[in-house]
Chain A
């Protein structure tokens, strides 16, 4: 399973765009990239998932370059309520769900 590396923490001001990059150098052909968000004392919440190029939903965008060795989660115009830990995960398709979480990126948004 591909190991992921992401910054331990990031700070942002409200209204700014935040980009969190995750490195997954050993990603395999069948692996998908998934991001989860977690608030204190709550379970993680699915944000977005992708395989290549760009995926966008109502809350975020996920950019994956051609070599797929990294991915960037983009949060447009963050608010205070986006303060949370963000996890990048790599999962192999067709296998039983066994999410491997790293330590995540702690995003702190301030006024």
Chain B
């Protein structure tokens, strides 16, 4: 079975631009979560979606938004990019979206903002 896939793998943008990152969960998983990982730190929770509805939101500005599609894939959008948005963006999927579910992470998208 395929694991969680993310695209693109790398991305370079300039300040002020907008970016869309994509995630496909493991087949059968209905929950997708997004995390931001800055170099040297642990991942920080951004959003969780379950059955196309937002279930949780981390402490991120409104420039960050996401959605989940009927096929359970998801997109993360970041507007008005700042230098500080440079990070590895991770997507994780799980069966039911509960905290004790095993989260399966994708390889991430490395975003560089110049």
Contact = CB atoms under 8 A, between A and B. Distances in A.
A104 B58 CA distance: 20
Interface string B27-63: 0000101010000111111001010000110100000
Contacts of B101: 97
B97 A97 contact: yes
A103 B42 CA distance: 5
A96 B56 contact: yes
Given A87-B42, A96-B48, A100-B45, A43 B92 contact: yes
A45 B107 CA distance: 10
Most buried by B among A34, A99, A101: A99
Interface in A53-110: 85, 87, 91-104
Interface string A24-39: 0000000010101000
A13 interface: no
Contact of A45 (B42, B48, B98, B105): B105
B112 interface: no
Contacts of B4: 43
Contacts of A104: 42
Contact of B55 (A46, A87, A93, A96): A96
17 contacts: A41-B108, A42-B108, A43-B4, A43-B106, A43-B107, A44-B103, A44-B105, A45-B105, A93-B99, A97-B55, A97-B56, A97-B92, A97-B98, A99-B43, A99-B103, A100-B45, A101-B42
A-B pairs, 3 with minimum CB distance: A43-B105, A101-B42, A91-B99
Chain B CB within 10 Å, residue with most, of A46, A98, A101, A104: A98
A33 B58 CA distance: 21
Contacts of B58: 98
A92 B106 contact: no
B71 interface: no
